[in-house]
Amino acid sequence: MESLALVFSNGWASGINSYLVVLVLGISERLGADGIPHVLGRWEVLGIAGFMYAMEFVADKIPLIDSTWDTISTGIRPTVGAVLGVLVAGEADSLNGAVAGVVGGGSALASHLVKMGGRMAINSSPEPVTNIAASVGEDFAVLGVVWFAIENPEAAAIIAAVFLVLGLVMLYFVARLIRKFWRRWKGREPRPPAYA
């Protein structure tokens, strides 16, 4: 149960920012945290995760670039969540490993879709401040949930589940803004002037 809670928390966080999750888990493994797969603490894994996180850190704060990055990440984030799930389960050829992969990938896909929808709603307005605030908030949420999950996996899983449910409710209420974003993205609606 504890490992499944860790898988769910890491999966949720991977759907928001998978490179930061790998980086935090890798650093935690290097610092001697229990239950973290050793492969995540390898220097080459940390280097790649750090480089990709730096790229996402910048791309995630620029209006419309963030939505393009999210679209590209649709295949990456759930895959990272599933791989982390299998690694945490420690048994890739067992039923537990398969369940962990599905839980990790499924929670990553769900949170990724929430993030992507939220960014579409934010991008329906041309100002960049909301993008920056949303990105910084997401990074802090991911960092907090992953660090907390290392010591308290069940509590972190509950927090991640609450974030996921709140995100889904938020998407329901901002669906109109998401449709507006899609119309503008496809060129059917003129972009409003940046300054009135």
pLDDT given for residue 129 in this prediction: 86
Q: Are 112 and 15 in contact (CB under 8 A)?
A: yes
Distance CA 35, CA 50 (A): 21
Q: Are 11 and 18 in contact (CB under 8 A)?
A: no
Structure tokens at 160: 């991640």
Alpha helices in the chain (DSSP H): 2-30, 43-59, 65-72, 76-89, 95-122, 129-151, 153-173, 175-185
What single-letter amino acid sits at 26? Answer: G
pLDDT given for residue 67 in this prediction: 86
pLDDT given for residue 181 in this prediction: 67
pLDDT given for residue 24 in this prediction: 95
CA 164 to chain centre: 11
Report domain extents, the chain: 2-185
Q: What does the pLDDT profile of the chain (196 residues) look like in tens digits?
A: 568 888 999 999 999 999 999 999 999 999 988 888 899 999 999 999 999 999 999 999 988 888 889 999 999 999 999 999 999 887 666 777 888 889 999 999 999 999 988 888 887 777 778 889 999 999 999 999 999 999 898 999 999 999 999 988 888 877 777 777 667 666 655 555 555 4
Structure tokens at 22: 């790998």
- Indicate left, alpha or beta for 64 from its phi (over 0: left) and psi (-120 to 50: alpha): left
pLDDT given for residue 196 in this prediction: 47
pLDDT given for residue 189 in this prediction: 53
pLDDT given for residue 124 in this prediction: 75
